[in-house]
Homo-oligomer: A and B are copies of this chain.
Amino acid sequence: MRDSKIIDVARKANVSPATVSRVLNGSPLVTGKTKEKVLQVIQELNYTPNAMGKQLRSRKTMTLGVVVTDIGVAYNAEIIKGIENTANGLKYKILICDSQNEKEKELEFLSLLQNRTVDGLILVTPQLTDSEIFSFADEDYSIGIIGRQINHPFIPCCFTDNIRIGREVVQHLMEQGHRRIAYISGYADAPDSIGRQEGYREELESAGLTFIPELTDIGDFDEQGGYEAFKRLWADNQKFTAVFTANDEMALGVYKACAELRISIPESMAVVGVDNIRITNYVEPKISSVEQPLYAMGALLAEKLIDQMNGSVRAEQQLFMLHSTIMAKGSSVKGG
């Protein structure tokens, strides 16, 4: 069954296509009577406006591209939800790209901006470097980033205050009586690793303690990496009573290492991670962690990007730094 088009409706209702279009788009300049007639014919013909015709003519797809490194990670899924809900509320749809951490796939997806398949693009902690992203940033292309701060006048960013995360975790551990606190970072060059370590250091020093490089190691953000990093730290025989891992996956690795080494948590070793993933509440003891406002980050950035796309101000770059919340649980509170 061939779809009917605007001209069919127009003819049957004895009006022009323009009038039908006006009715469809809620123009106030149509008489009640005409409008009713048109609406009725639309019903009779079961007419639906063709999106491609509309998009071509209006030069808008009402679609936002979203590039994520892995849709299966709860962190990303929550951000996507925030984006999606906000976008949908503003009549935008979401085109997803799970890049599987491949730069090439991310780059490929960016071309959807050029060919106007999407009106704007949100990158969630992409693999792409700043300069690769810059090469696409243009007066005419709307790009936003979540989970990383980059310095470009047209690119709004939304990220957490990593320094503050580091400070609060250390502060919490010090309140529990710890003085020698280890830090396991993710990838060495990841902003999240660096920022959290910076906060860790600042807080230690502002408490009059010294930052000891030997108490830090690198764990690549995954369970295995955390496991290995902890074992290295432990073997190094630096005494420490608490470890702060830059994410929860690595904290799980620490749990595994402690089990093998017969170190009891939290009695002999306090552990705090970041992200507050679900599993932290199912292991014994529950893992203290820092909860980031992921949904809010997605929602906020989507809103701001859409705003910007729709011509509002672009006077200065929009940077949004959100705060996280520490959730103290059994892994860092004795008798908790």
Contact = CB atoms under 8 A, between A and B. Distances in A.
A84 B55 contact: no
A116 B81 contact: no
A96 B98 contact: no
A77 to B, nearest CB: 4
Contact of A52 (B3, B52, B114): B52
Interface string A284-319: 100000000000000000000000000000000000
Contact of A95 (B48, B81, B95, B114): B95
Most buried by B among A72, A80, A112, A114: A72
Copies of this chain, complex-wide, total 2
Interface in A243-265: 252
A139 B1 contact: yes
Interface range on chain A (Cβ under 8 Å from partner): 35 or more
A80 B77 CA distance: 12
Given A1-B138, A94-B95, A282-B252, A52 B55 contact: yes
Interface string A40-51: 000000001111
A53 to B, nearest CB: 6
A310 to B, nearest CB: 18
Interface string A143-175: 000000000000000000000000000000000
A95 B50 contact: no
Interface string A46-81: 001111110110010101000000011010011011
B77 A72 contact: yes
A105 B114 CA distance: 30
A96 B116 CA distance: 18
A278 B51 CA distance: 41
B115 A49 contact: yes
A36 interface: no
A279 B277 CA distance: 11
Contacts of A49: 115
B116 A52 contact: yes
B48 A56 contact: no
B111 A48 contact: yes
A80 B66 CA distance: 14
A74 B72 CA distance: 6
A283 interface: yes
A251 B72 CA distance: 22
Given A71-B80, A116-B50, A1 B140 contact: yes
A117 interface: yes
Contacts of A59: 52
A103 interface: no
A1 B88 CA distance: 29
A93 interface: yes
Nearest to A47: B114
Contact of A282 (B48, B88, B283): B283
Given A3-B116, A52-B52, A93-B95, 19 more contacts: A1-B139, A48-B111, A48-B114, A48-B115, A51-B112, A51-B115, A52-B59, A52-B116, A53-B56, A55-B55, A63-B95, A71-B71, A72-B77, A80-B96, A88-B105, A95-B96, A96-B96, A278-B279, A282-B282
